[in-house]
Amino acid sequence: MTTRRVHTFCRICEPGCGLVADVRNEQVITLQPDKDHPIHKGFACHKGVHFLHVHNDPNRLDRPLRRTNPRHEELGNFVPIDWDDAVREIAEKLMDIRRRYGRNALAVYQGNPSAFNGTYYANAASLARGFDTRMRFSAGTQDTSAKYAASEAIYGASMAHPIPDLLHTDYFLCLGSNPLVSHMTLLHISDPMAKIRAVKKRGGTVLFVNPRRIESSGPDTGDVLQIKPDSDFYFLAAILHEIVFRIGYDRPAVEKHARNIDGLLDFVRGYPVERVTAATGIEADVIRQVADDFCAAPTASIYMATGVNQGRQGTLAYWMLNMISLFSGNLGRRGGNIYSRGMTDVVHNSKRKREDPFFRDSLGEVRTVGGDLPAARLPEYIANRDDPIRALIVISGNPLLSVGGAEGMRRALEDLELIVTIDLYRTVTGEMADYVLPATDWLEHEDVNFLNTMGVAMEPYVQYTPAVVPPRNDRRDDWWILSRIQQEMGVKTMLDSPDPNPLANADAAMRDAGLSLERLKEMPCQTAVLPEADPSHVFTIAVQHDDGLIDCCPAIFRRAYRTVEDILEELSNESPDQLKLITRRTLYMVNSWLHNLPILKQGAHQDNPLWMNPDDADRRGLVAGDDVIVHNRHGSIDAILAYDATLRPGVVAMTHGWGQSSARGLDVARRYPGVNVNRLSPNGKEGYDILSNQSHLTGINVEITRREPRSPR
């Protein structure tokens, strides 16, 4: 009995770590880090290695299912249906709904895993056009759209993201990220903690800014500056104020690459360190010292992630971050923040179409970011009488858990005429669906690390993987499922070709790098290492404004100036007893998936506890293990209190992605359901940043009370 070895890569988070699979009789026997990989060199975290538990999970979907009972019943009854009948029935219902309500009666929601699926992501634009609807939503407005919107305004392209040059920097300022756990976002780098430790080893400085003393910090990396949640914008604005009004900057050098400098100075003038100390919880002298150290370092880089994005001012925080890099002389400089071209110039495809992206629709003035409307308003679009959504297709997503205001979302979904989910599992969203369609996992289809090559890779490379094993039973690729539905609707698709190739767009993109799929297949690990990033490409490639200049003070940001002042006043005058809820990433959950793996249900992580500083608990007469109610004006949830002395006093934390109690198709997740923290998040018009459609999911005001035992009947 022979065993063959297949070089492949993980598609759970952004590094795309190299893996090697041993296969016998078309079954994956082992999945291990690939020691031969030219970039990752044997590094992979436990999540990728444990993906074999997902692949072999008996709860995986194997065939299309059709619902037989009304959606208002919480648990669905489903029966198998063959593919031809499923896609025909779905297409007929979609066409009927659109005849009655118009083209925008169909909405599409795209989840996070689809971005790591090259066969889908490389064709996402054409698949979206095939459904011909403006009602597009995605998990992007739950995690990264703040950055996309900011870059579109500053650089003229939503995909222009100067990344910290961790391989050469002398000072790394890292906000709202826990690299040991999350492995970073919009920054693709192998073994990020090794790179961060290397900064310290070569005599540099690393400073984390976070409400919690995160696992990434320590003697071999750097300290944590514990900031109040949702105040990062003011911290960054004060640092920029120090640079431009006290430390000094090279104005001619900035003018060479940027415009609207005076507009920026006028704005930042309003945020000296003394004015932001109460809001941030950081003393003025400490902020000044950070600014001094950043500017005194031979090179300095700066980065922010989801912990900042998901606040109310993630877009403006990213604006300040980029201006700090520019005015300190570190933008476009080796060791500073640089643009990594990868295999092709993706910024051209994300160039801003107009200066003011807002338009009016049935809900008033809105915009799209990367084509997506704010997911926080999806329930309103469904309920809108003038132009209602009546059908929803969900691609590898779980909006019932991922979007704020779960109860409002559930009521809205109950009102739809048709829901179709495409996923590995029947999740809580799938439990409400009319059709649940089984997708392949990433061991079952060929792929290219398409996302990893698109401008944010510190160590750029491109890798091909064949399907490690054939799809089990009736599982199909996402692109195939959507194309079959569109075929039945009379839309031309890839499947009309006698030899459909979902990687054709990726193959074409490689030509700029002198590569092709066929060449990759012949290379060791099917991987080609691309040239090191050229720091000057920030200015020569990333900037896409017609005049070739960075906009230091985009006009669109003025829409938020009043909000900036209102939030500053609110934070500065808040009661010292006010508790702020943040999202805590753990090694045992990734968003709302990996929820069905017994191996990841360990200790306190079998549940979704409320983490609280012991001093905060003591002041409230609470102890670890207490049943508590976490509540605010948006909702209420029950949780078990657990101590976490690493939290800044006044801050509590819970993990995103729990709450699968009604997912009858998920045995483990239903046994350990936890609670959905997004029940406490605002939704609707107040639930997102108008500049970016980014949902407000962290730094949320809550109250905590002990839950009294229920009286026996």
Q: What is the 3-state secondary structure (H, E, C) of 119-131?
A: HHHCCHHHHHHHH
Give the per-residue pLDDT at 1.
73
Same domain, yes or no, for 208 and 319? Answer: yes
- Single-letter code of the amino acid located at 372: D
DSSP helix/strand/coil, 263: helix
Whole-number Å distance between alpha carbons of 623 and 691: 41
- Is 608 part of a structural domain of the chain? yes
Give the number of other Cβ atoms within 10 Å of residue 551's Cβ: 23
Give pairs for 27-30: CB < 8 Å, separation 24+: 27/469, 28/52, 28/55, 28/443, 28/468, 28/469, 29/3
Of the candidates 416, 426, 173, the residue with the CA atom closest to the CA atom of residue 308: 173
- Is 87 part of a structural domain of the chain? yes
Of the candidates 336, 295, 298, the residue with the CA atom closest to the CA atom of residue 165: 336
* Mean pLDDT score, 620-630: 97
* Mean pLDDT score, 616-620: 97
Whole-number Å distance between alpha carbons of 312 and 98: 36
Global pTM reads 0.97
Whole-number Å distance between alpha carbons of 618 and 620: 5
How far is C-alpha 179 from the chain's CA centre? 14
Whole-number Å distance between alpha carbons of 566 and 561: 9
Same domain, yes or no, for 247 and 377? Answer: no
Contact between 444 and 83 (Cβ < 8 Å): no
Beta bridge partners of 164: 337
Reading the block at residue 691, the tokens are: 């500049």
Confidence of residue 486 (pLDDT cuts 50, 70, 90): very high
- Single-letter code of the amino acid located at 316: L
Write out pLDDT tens, residues 237-288.
Answer: 999 999 999 999 999 999 999 999 999 999 999 999 999 999 999 999 999 9
Residue 147 or residue 454, greater confidence: 147
Write out pLDDT tens, residues 69-114.
Answer: 998 887 889 999 999 999 999 999 999 999 999 999 999 999 988 8
Q: What are phi and psi of 563, to 5 degrees?
A: -65, -40
Same domain, yes or no, for 28 and 131? Answer: no
- How many domains does one find in the chain? 4
Give the per-residue pLDDT at 346.
84
- Among 403-407, 623-627, 681-685, top mean pLDDT goes to 623-627
- Is 220 part of a structural domain of the chain? yes
- Look up the CATH number of the domain holding residue 659: 2.40.40.20
Give the per-residue pLDDT at 642.
97
- Look up the CATH number of the domain holding residue 548: 3.40.228.10
Q: Compute the Cα dihedral for 79, 80, 82, 87 and give only its sign.
A: positive
Same domain, yes or no, for 207 and 232? Answer: yes
Give the per-residue pLDDT at 194.
97
Q: Is the pLDDT of residue 619 over 60?
A: yes
Write out pLDDT tens, residues 422-481.
Answer: 999 999 999 999 999 999 999 999 999 987 777 899 999 999 999 999 999 999 999 999
Same domain, yes or no, for 23 and 166? Answer: no
Of the candidates 47, 119, 240, the residue with the CA atom closest to the CA atom of residue 494: 119
Q: Is the pLDDT of residue 713 over 70?
A: no
Same domain, yes or no, for 640 and 670? Answer: yes
Contact between 185 and 14 (Cβ < 8 Å): yes
How far is C-alpha 123 from the chain's CA centre? 20
* Mean pLDDT score, 114-121: 89
- Is 149 part of a structural domain of the chain? no
* Mean pLDDT score, 314-337: 98
Give the per-residue pLDDT at 174.
98
Same domain, yes or no, for 473 and 621? Answer: no
Q: Is the pLDDT of residue 711 over 70?
A: no
Same domain, yes or no, for 34 and 8? Answer: yes
Same domain, yes or no, for 615 and 689? Answer: yes
- Is 451 part of a structural domain of the chain? yes
Q: Which domain holds residue 19?
A: 4-55
DSSP helix/strand/coil, 214: coil
DSSP helix/strand/coil, 629: strand
- Is 345 part of a structural domain of the chain? no
* Segment (H or E) for 279: helix 273-280
Report the first-to-last Cα separation within the chain, whole angstroms: 63
* Mean pLDDT score, 477-488: 98
Confidence of residue 587 (pLDDT cuts 50, 70, 90): confident
- Look up the CATH number of the domain holding residue 394: 3.40.50.740
Give the CA distances from residue 665 to residues 49, 90, 175, in Å, rounded to whole numbers and listed in that order: 24, 22, 38
Contact between 674 and 659 (Cβ < 8 Å): yes
Give the per-residue pLDDT at 588.
86
Mean pLDDT for the chain overall: 95
pLDDT-above-90 percentage for the chain: 89
Confidence of residue 323 (pLDDT cuts 50, 70, 90): very high
Give the per-residue pLDDT at 710.
63
Write out pLDDT tens, residues 642-689.
Answer: 999 999 999 999 999 899 998 999 999 999 999 999 999 998 999 999
Domain boundary pick from 33, 55, 77: 55
Whole-number Å distance between alpha carbons of 586 and 655: 7
- Is 537 part of a structural domain of the chain? no
Give the per-residue pLDDT at 115.
85
* Segment (H or E) for 258: strand 258-259
Same domain, yes or no, for 498 and 384? Answer: yes
Give pairs for 123-126: CB < 8 Å, separation 24+: 123/479, 123/494, 123/502, 123/505, 126/494
DSSP helix/strand/coil, 621: coil
- Is 206 part of a structural domain of the chain? yes
Give the per-residue pLDDT at 343.
85
Write out pLDDT tens, residues 36-77.
Answer: 999 999 999 999 999 999 999 999 999 999 999 998 887 889
DSSP helix/strand/coil, 316: helix
Give the number of other Cβ atoms within 10 Å of residue 361's Cβ: 15
- Look up the CATH number of the domain holding residue 35: 3.30.200.210
Write out pLDDT tens, residues 191-220.
Answer: 999 999 999 999 999 999 999 999 999 999
Same domain, yes or no, for 76 and 135? Answer: yes
Number of H helices, E strands in the chain: 26, 29
Same domain, yes or no, for 188 and 333? Answer: yes
Contact between 448 and 461 (Cβ < 8 Å): no
Q: Helical H runs in 328-420?
A: 378-383, 399-402, 406-414
**Three-state helix/strand/coil letters over 377-396:** HHHHHHHCCCCCCCEEEEEC
